[in-house]
Amino acid sequence: MLCAPPDNTLKGIRDRAILAILLYHGLRREELCRLKVKDIEHRQGLPHFMVYGKRDRIRYVPLHPAATRLLNANRTMDCRIEEADSPLFRPVKNNTSKILHKHLHSDSIYKLVRRYASQVGLLSKIINIGPHAMRATAATNALEHAADIAKVQEMLGHSNISTTKLYDRRSSNPEESPVFKIEF
Residues 116-166 have pLDDT tens digits of: 999 998 888 877 899 999 999 999 999 989 899 999 999 999 999 999 998
Torsion sign, CA atoms 170, 152, 40, 80: positive
Average pLDDT, the chain: 88
19: which residues sit within 8 A by CB, 6+ positions away? 1, 2, 4, 5, 112, 113, 116, 134
3-state secondary structure of 50: strand
pLDDT greater than 90 at residue 15: yes
How far is the C-alpha of 37 from the C-alpha of 85, rounded, in Å? Answer: 6
In the chain, where does DSSP find H-type helix?
A: 10-25, 29-34, 65-77, 106-119, 131-144, 149-156, 161-166
Query: Hey, how many other C-beta atoms are within 10 angstroms of the C-beta on 103?
Result: 17
Q: What is the CATH number of domain 10-92+99-131?
A: 1.10.443.10
Structure confidence at residue 45 as a pLDDT band (50, 70, 90): very high
Cβ within 8 Å of residue 2, ≥6 positions away: 16, 19, 20, 23
DSSP 39: G
Q: What is the pLDDT of residue 170?
A: 75
| 99 pLDDT higher than 60 | no
Cα–Cα separations (whole angstroms), residue 42 to 21, 61, 82, 162: 17, 11, 18, 30
Burial bucket for residue 141 (CB in 10 Å: 0-12, 13-18, 19+): middle
Write down the pTM of the prediction: 0.86
Catalytic residue set: 28, 54, 132, 135, 158, 167
- Residue pair 120/102 in contact by the 8 Å Cβ criterion: no
CB 87 within 8 A of CB 10: no
Task: Answer whether 36's CB lies under 8 Å from 88's CB.
Answer: yes
- Are 161 and 45 in contact by the 8 Å Cβ rule? The answer is no
